[in-house]
Every structure is written in structure tokens, then in C-alpha cells.
Amino acid sequence: MNKSEIFEDDLQDLARFAKVISHPARLAILKFLAETKTCISGDISDYLPLSRTTVSQHLKELRSLGLIHGEIDGLKINYCLCQTSIKNFVQLFDLFFEPIVSNSMYCNTVECIIEKNDTEIVSSEKID
């Protein structure tokens, strides 16, 4: 049923990255790791209102993409951001959206014309 594989590799990679960062808890973990530089999983579950088990799973997903990694230090595991990997994915994101946001062409829908002229919305022909 899953047709994800049939799309271009770049789209798949970006989609995978987006999926991993598509949960506020995982974003919060990345942010926390950016501040603390390194910490153990217990620090994260103390900081976030989530159980140890749940945090452990979120860490697993971040690890599976290579966004973070952990080094065993006795009983503890010190986690930290993998800057290289994050930079690569951010670049993938930028490469995808750069041509989209830098495109000065607008289509002819009422909303686009409104945005272009920065005036108020008056149309009732809008979908959603």
C-alpha cells in the first residue's frame, strides 16, 4: 500500500527528514541538546513531560536518521547532535524550497493577487 518508494530519492530523503522532525517532542529534544551540548536520556525525560520509555523511542528515531548519536559512558549514554548530518538535511531542505520561495511568479487566483498587492481578502470563491 505504501507508494513512497516510487518517488525521486531527493523527495524521499527530505520526506524522511521531515517525518522525523514532525513531532514537537523530537524538536524539543533537538533544541535541548543544542543547549546542553550533551546529556543523558534521563535528563531529557526529566525536562520533558514524557515518560522515559517515550523519550527513548523518540531518541531512537532521531538516531535512526543520524540526527543525533550516543556514546556509552559506563551505565549512561551521552547523546549529542550530529551537526554534519543535520547540516546535510537542512541543505536538502534549502535546495528544495529555494526555487519555490525565490520564484517571483504568481498564479491568477484571487488569493495570489491579494498577497501580491497586500490587501484584504474579499473573495468567497476560496476553497478551505
Partner DNA sequence: AATTATTGTCGTATGTTTGCGTCATTAAAC
Partner DNA sequence: GTTTAATGACGCAAACATACGACAATAATT
Q: Confirm or reject binding of residue 110 to DNA (CB under 7 A).
A: no
Residue 23, C-alpha cell as written in the block: 513531532
Task: Give the amino acid at 67.
Answer: L
Query: Quick check: helix, strand or coil at residue 39?
Result: strand
The three cell numbers of residue 45 are 525525560
Q: Angle 86-90-96 (CA atoms, 0-180°, nearest 5)?
A: 150
Q: Which of 57, 110, 117, 122 is close enough to bind its own copies by CB under 8 A?
A: 110
> From the CB of 60, what's the least distance to its own copies, in Å?
8
25 in contact with its own copies (CB under 8 A) = yes
Identify what 51 binds: its own copies, DNA, none; CB under 5 to 8 Å per kind: DNA
Count of residues making up the chain: 128
How far apart CA 110 and CA 119 sit, in angstroms, is 11
Q: Around Cβ 70, how many Cβ atoms within 10 Å?
A: 16
Minimum gap (Å) between residue 24 Cβ and its own copies: 4
Residues contributing to the site for its own copies (CB under 8 A)? 3-4, 6-8, 11-12, 14-16, 18-19, 21-28, 30-31, 34, 37-38, 49-50, 60, 63-64, 69-72, 77-78, 80-84, 86-87, 90, 93, 96-97, 99-101, 103, 105-112, 115, 125-128
